[in-house]
Structure 1
Amino acid sequence: MNWTMPEHTSDLLSCWISRGGSKSQKRWWKLIPSCVWWSIWKERNGRCFEDRSNSIHKVKWNCIFHDGIVNFMSKPRKLKS
């Protein structure tokens, strides 16, 4: 078993598989990496260009709630196949 991060993003995404669940649940599961990366990207830009930074706890909070998964899921939208 390999306990290190994959070298390439595509390798990481190929590891992110969903087992079971409905078609809709699988679609939502595939959105999680994008939400995590978006939150990290926003934090990075804040640190590099706006001279602001958040604690790791705030980054995690943002990832899950503020600009991440829960916020995205709460907005009504139609998913395409």
Structure 2
Amino acid sequence: SFGIELANARLSPRYLTRSAISSELFDSEEAIDVGFLDQVSDEKDIRQKAIEKAEELSKLDAHAFSGNKSVFRQQTIERVLGSLGR
């Protein structure tokens, strides 16, 4: 199913049972290790962090970025779409 494919693609294998099967909840720092989050920021810093990330991404070659992202995620995308009947 979609949820299983997403969990397998995104979550750390060492946390998969604890999070996907046992429904264990994690604090924000643990959620990074698990794979739910890439980073955490204080609420007051969110806007600035988002701007910094956007500026960082804007410096990348868009074609190369898109191509690399597709190559690395294509199998997962196909499995997720297959689980949705597409």
TM-score range, shorter chain: under 0.3
Q: Normalised by the size of structure 2, how large is the TM-score?
A: 0.24
Q: Normalised by the size of structure 1, how large is the TM-score?
A: 0.25
Choose between structure 1 and 2 for higher RCO, CA contacts under 8 A separated by at least 6 residues. 2
Question: Relative to total residues, which structure has the larger helix share, 1 or 2?
Answer: 2
Which is higher, the Rg of structure 1 or of structure 2? 2
